[in-house]
Amino acid sequence: AQSVTQPDIHITVSEGASLELRCNYSYGATPYLFWYVQSPGQGLQLLLKYFSGDTLVQGIKGFEAEFKRSQSSFNLRKPSVHWSDAAEYFCAVDPGTYKYIFGTGTRLKVLA
């Protein structure tokens, strides 16, 4: 069955530190891949997406993600975290249908 795994439920980093959020998917072909961010009380905002081409994708707010086919991963990175990045991050897969498959989310806490 198709699935998305975000193994880290909570991550805490210090402001200015680097960040990597993990996402693994299970799907037979290469799906469309997304990272969304949800701030408290807000909807989901698209950070970046991968459809094809360059496997390193740049997004908004200084985030990037790298698609690794061999590892079925699409990890999100940021070189220097800001306090405003504290939020919940969702990885999602679109296997070519309308049914996005969302991970369970990773809640990021940023220490001042």
Residue 69 binding other proteins, by CB under 8 A: no
> In terms of CB distance, is 81 or 101 closer to other proteins?
101
Tokens 């999602």 label which residue? 92
Where do we find the tokens 């975290």?
Answer: 81
Answer for which of 1, 14, 53, 98 binds other proteins (CB under 8 A) is: 98
At 28, list the tokens.
């037979």
Q: What is the smallest separation between the CB atom of 112 and other proteins, expressed in angstroms?
A: 27
| Beta-carbon contacts of residue 49 (< 8 Å; ≥ 6 apart) | 32, 33, 34, 35, 57, 59
Among 83, 96, 109, 111, binds other proteins (CB under 8 A): 96
Applying CB under 8 A, which of residues 28, 43, 53, 54 lies at the interface with other proteins?
43
Q: Which residue has the tokens 């999100």?
A: 76
Tell me: does residue 59 bind other proteins (CB under 8 A).
no
